[in-house]
Amino acid sequence: MKNKIVILFLLLAFTFSMQGQKTDSRIDFRIGIGPSLLGTGDIITLDYENELNVKIDQYFTLSTSLNFGNSLSGIAFNASFIQGNFNVFLSPLKNNKRFDFRLGAGVNYYSILDILQSRTIYENGVPVSRTYNIDKRDVFGYNIIIEGSYMLTDKILAGLKIFTQPYTNGDINSGIMFKIGYKL
């Protein structure tokens, strides 16, 4: 028990000693939310993203993210997906100022579940029976990204991301996302 208290005390002392120092973290965490067109562009979804970025140098950043999406409207009764991404970003204007413009490319893997209404039986103009088809697929794809972010403070940033994600089965997901982040 005494060892745990000593370790906790040392960690707290280290944390408080670092508060007055300016650190230039190479790691940031971002969350994003925004609409996209999924499938062949006929399903509107709301996407939510969790992203971890590691700045390699003033030009390159590596990123991994996890996305969740759910349909808002479209031909499907419901479409929902989970997706993992790995991206490399190039900041052609250098990533050493308050504004960072970057171009990204990478790979992704997504698992999607579509529920489609296939048939409705009517009696006297009133639907009495509906049949649904369920389509689940797991697909690889790639990412093309244009993103801009601005440091609001030394630790907090906000940005906008435009993306398209073609998949190997012919699906595509394209959209725009507002992002907010924190330098760790």
Residue 118 pLDDT = 78
Tally of domains in the chain: 1
Q: Is residue 14 part of a domain?
A: no
pLDDT tens profile 124-165? 988 888 788 888 999 999 999 999 999 999 999 999 999 999
Q: Is residue 165 part of a domain?
A: yes
- The CATH number of residue 118's host domain is 2.40.160.20
Question: Would you say 32 and 51 are in contact if contact means Cβ atoms under 8 Å apart?
Answer: yes
Q: Is residue 5 part of a domain?
A: no
CB atoms near residue 132 (< 10 Å): 13
Which residue segment(s) compose the domain that 116 sits in? 23-183
Residue written as token pair 């413009």: 101
Q: Is residue 11 part of a domain?
A: no
